[in-house]
A and B are shown apart, each in its own frame.
Chain A
Amino acid sequence: MTLATRTNGFARSMIRRAALAVAAIATLSAASVQLGAQEARLLAIQDDATRSMVRDFIEAARARGTPTEPLVSRALEGVAFRATAKRIEQAMVALEERIGRSRELLAPRATVDELAAAADALANGVPASAIRDLRKIAPYRQITVEIGVLTELVAKGVAPKKAAVMVRDLMARGATGTQLTELNAAVQQDVAFGVTPVAALELRGRGVMSLLSPSASVNAAIRP
């Protein structure tokens, strides 16, 4: 028997209390939980100087109003890649700058996930104007998936402008995130078989386009 099924009542009561304590933590304010969780995660950074640098940077970023979750993530990514403290700091500086830029591009409002996705898009060479266009087309819903598809297309070698135009046009005609994800998958597969990225995008993009309403106007969709 792997589980202690013979646990007596007292032990069960203790377990229950411990579990309730965990559950109670979950009900605390989101901010304090996030702070505690972030601090705990920073303990994964074994080098004291690096951890101290990261902690200081995060606190300063929080004071500047930057969402800190993506920054913590980037710092830990750097640790996983065994980057130096200097490299990690540079990455956080660059990310905070891109998050600030993303916030402008995704105005008037954006979730942290969207900001992180847009920041990664910029880092991978997606044109800033493309991100702004996507937000205009879908001002009231999350576009994390759409930004992610665009990022992946560019990261895999599709010319940024062509990728941006295709994703924008498909979205404007009502393509769902699912359809765009499938488009991306098909393009990646074609590229793996030797088709050039641009040709694959044109081919697959036309296929998705044929399934969508022809009446929607791209210009109308992205008009401010």
Chain B
Amino acid sequence: MIEERDELVDRAARALSAMSPVKAGAVARVLMAVRASKVRPQPAWKRSVRWLEDASVSARAAGMLVAASLVVGFVLRGTVDVAGYSTQALSETPVALQTISDAGAESRGVPVAMVFELANAKSVAVVGDFNGWDPAATPMQRVGEDGPWSATLLAKPGRHTYAFLVDGSTLVADPLAAKATSPDFGGDASVMMVRTP
């Protein structure tokens, strides 16, 4: 059977090929849902009251919370977080209370979606404590032809200073995040708090 793809069908296919808008933080939400699905019942002695509280937060409800946090344009999977910051987090998947002995689970890091808009940049990378300030670790991708830059990274719970490395040489603080001054180098950076899962 010969497939009858002509000019009109081509046009229709092209119209349907337009990419859907992807909300900032979508990838982080997916990762949150993935981790939520991974949670298995823990022995009672490993549970904490908080575990039980968090367990009531469904992945979907948590996703809505992330969406709500987008008012500052910057998302982090975890718990609802840091109102004064541009980083926002949302309730983590229910996991057992972390202890030093099972720090391995915590060491995976919490997915953080980052969005940064800067026209005229040729490249942008996120550098910070979470990736050892390695300029090659977290390159951001241009979203659309002239859209913002976006990346998802894994950050361990705690306080992290970071900045955006533009065109491989210029460090730019996150314009909407709380400021941090490097004690050793004196430069301007930003700070975000990542919660314990």
Contacts and interface: CB of A to CB of B under 8 A. Distances in A.
A141 B83 contact: no
A140 to B, nearest CB: 6
B195 interface: yes
B185 A73 contact: no
Q: How would you classify the secondary structure of chain A's contact residues: helix, strand, loop or mixed?
A: helix
A83 B101 CA distance: 38
Contacts of A83: 184-185
A28 B133 CA distance: 24
Given A142-B103, A149-B159, 15 more contacts: A41-B132, A44-B134, A44-B135, A69-B132, A77-B184, A80-B165, A80-B171, A81-B185, A141-B99, A145-B159, A145-B194, A148-B193, A155-B180, A186-B84, A188-B178
Contact of A80 (B101, B127, B157, B195): B127
Interface of A: 41, 44, 69, 72-74, 76-83, 87, 90-91, 94-95, 109, 111, 113, 116-117, 120, 123-124, 140-142, 144-145, 147-149, 151-152, 155-156, 176-178, 181-182, 184-186, 188-189, 191-192
B106 A95 contact: no
Interface string B81-110: 111110000000000011111010011000
Given A87-B185, A149-B159, A181 B100 contact: no
Contacts of B194: 145
B138 interface: no
B134 A144 contact: no
Contacts of A156: 178
B163 A184 contact: no
Given A148-B193, A186-B83, A192-B84, A117 B184 contact: no
Q: Give the contact-size bracket for chain B.
A: 35 or more
Most A C-beta atoms less than 10 A away, residue of B84, B101, B180: B84
B124 to A, nearest CB: 13
B196 interface: yes
A120 B159 contact: yes
A76 B159 contact: no
A145 to B, nearest CB: 5
Contact of A144 (B83, B84, B158, B183): B158
Contacts of B191: 152, 155
Contacts of B107: 113
Contact of A73 (B106, B132, B171): B132
A76 B171 CA distance: 12
Interface string B176-192: 00101111111100010
A152 B159 contact: yes
A117 B132 contact: no
B136 A149 contact: no
B142 interface: no
Contacts of B136: 41, 44
A186 to B, nearest CB: 7
A147 to B, nearest CB: 7
